[in-house]
Structure 1
C-alpha cells in the first residue's frame, strides 16, 4: 500500500482535522463537516481513519532493540498530581555519565510514537525521559480518541508541575551528567517553551510547533533555544513573529526554522501530515543542537 501524504487530502480537510485533534471540533462535528472533502468512494469515517496515526508502520526503534534499555519510572510530584510516571530510555552500554533529554508528548499522552522518539534519542547517546501527562487519569489508554477525551480533563496547572518535577528528577539522575534538554511536539512544544521560562538552568529547549509564552515570560529564558515551525501551520506559526521580537528584546539566544510547504505535525511519521525531508532535517538539527549544548 502506498503511504498517503498531506498532498493526498483536500487542504480544508487537513484544517478540520487539525481542529478536531486540538479539541476545537467534536468527532461528530468533524465527520459532518469533512464529508464534503472526502474523495469519491471514501466515507468521512474512512477519511478520519486515513488521517489517524499508524504506530506500528512508523516505528523506527523496536521496544526490544538490544542497543537500548527502557523501562517506566514513577516518582513524587508534590505540587502536581502527587505522582508522575515516565518512560526512560538509554543506551544499553555507555561509558561515563550521559546528557539527558526530557521528551514532551503531543496532546494525546505517552503514545507509542513518543516512546519511539525516546528510543531514537537513546540510540543517539542520550538518556531520554518521556513523562505521561495522562498518568493521573490512568495513563495513555491505547486509543487516540479516548486519549483526546482524557486530555481535556487534565488540570493544566498540576500537569505543568508534573513536568517541572520530571525535569528536576532527570537533572539529578545518577547516570546523567546534570545537563538537561527538552524536546516537545505540538502540546509538548508548548511545554518545552514553558520549561524554558521556569527552569533557569535548563541547558537547551527544542519546541516543535509549540505554543509560545508571553513576552513577559519569554524574557525569563536562559536556555539555548532551537525552534521548528511549519509554514502551513497558521494556528501556531502566526505567533512566531511576536515571540521572536520578545526573544530579541531579552537577548535570548535562539535558532528558528520555518519549513516551507509543510503542515503542523510534520515530524510525526505516524500520520499523513509527516514530511520526510523536513522531519529528517529538523531531527538532524535537533541532535546536533543537543550534542553541542548538553555534552560540554
Structure 2
C-alpha cells in the first residue's frame, strides 16, 4: 500500500549544510517514529509508514537517497548504498530526531530495516533524542559501541537469513549478546524460523514475484504469520517506550 497524495507530505530537514528530503505523516505533537529505508530506497517502505501512523504515531521517513535513486536491481541498490556516505546518513537521522522533538513529539523512537537497521543503531547510539530502537535484520558494529548501548532494543531476525556478517543469525545473536553484556536489561531478540532477510516486505518489489526474489537473492517467499507477529511485538514495544508515562 502506497501512501496517498494527502498523506505524502514532502519537506526538507536541514542537517549541516544540506537539506534532507523526507516523507512525514501523522499529527504534529504525537509520539514519533523515524522509519529508515531498506537499500531499495524510501518508497519501498511506504506501507510500513502508513501502518505505524495508524497506531497514533507521527512517522518520518528520511529519503537518504535524496529523491534521486530507488533500487531497481541488486546491482543498482549495491552501488547506490556503497556511494552513499554512511556517516552523513546517520547525522541526517540524528537531526531528524531533533526536528521531531522541536515539533513537539514527547518521545522519538527509531525503526530500521536491512541497511536501515544499521543506520538506526548508529543514530540511536549517537542521539539523546532517540528513546528506543528496533532493528530488523541488519547490524554493523562500526557505527556504534555495543558496550555503551543502554537504550531499549528490540531486534527481529529471520532464521533463514543468508547474508553473512550482516544479518545472518550469527550477527543477530552477537548484537543481542554484546548489548546485554553491557548491562542493558531491556533487550529483546526475536527469531522467526520460517523466514529470512527482508521478511517484513509484503511485496517482492523490485522483483516481479517472490519466487524470482528467492531465485536471485535467496530470500524466502512471503509468509504472513511471522509478519503479523513481528508487527504485534513492534507496536507493543513502541507503545511501551514512547507512549507510556
Shift of 1:172: 1.7
1:69-218 to 2 correspondence within 5 Å? 69-78=7-16, 82-90=18-26, 97-111=29-43, 113-135=44-66, 139-141=67-69, 144-145=72-73, 146-174=76-104, 176-177=105-106, 179-213=107-141, 217-218=145-146
Shift of 1:222: 2.7
1:172 counterpart SS class: helix
Which residue among 222, 226, 229 is the counterpart of 2:150? 222
**Structure 1 residues 216-251: Cα deviation after superposition (integer angstroms, max 9, x where no partner):** 701222321111000011421211232222112211
Task: List gaps (5 residues or longer) in structure 1.
Answer: 1-58
1:277 counterpart SS class: helix
**Structure 1 residues 3-52: Cα deviation after superposition (integer angstroms, max 9, x where no partner):** xxxxxxxxxxxxxxxxxxxxxxxxxxxxxxxxxxxxxxxxxxxxxxxxxx
TM-score by length of 2: 0.82
Aligned residue in 1 for 2:215? none
**Structure 1 residues 251-287: Cα deviation after superposition (integer angstroms, max 9, x where no partner):** 1121110100211010011122332111111011101
Take 1:276 and 1:163, find their aligned partners in 2: how far apart are those partners? 30
| Maintained 8 Å contact 1:200/1:221 | no
Aligned residue in 2 for 1:289? 237
Aligned residue in 2 for 1:263? 196
Larger Rg: 1
CA RMSD, Structure 1 to Structure 2 (Å): 2.2
Take 2:84 and 2:141, find their aligned partners in 1: how far apart are those partners? 20
| Maintained 8 Å contact 1:132/1:140 | no
| Maintained 8 Å contact 2:98/2:129 | no
Shift of 1:214: 5.7
Take 1:161 and 1:215, find their aligned partners in 2: how far apart are those partners? 11
| Maintained 8 Å contact 2:97/2:129 | no
Take 1:120 and 1:188, find their aligned partners in 2: how far apart are those partners? 18
Take 2:231 and 2:81, find their aligned partners in 1: how far apart are those partners? 27
1:207 counterpart SS class: strand
1:46-61 to 2 correspondence within 5 Å? 59=1
| Maintained 8 Å contact 1:98/1:126 | yes
Task: List gaps (5 residues or longer) in structure 2.
Answer: 205-209, 211-220
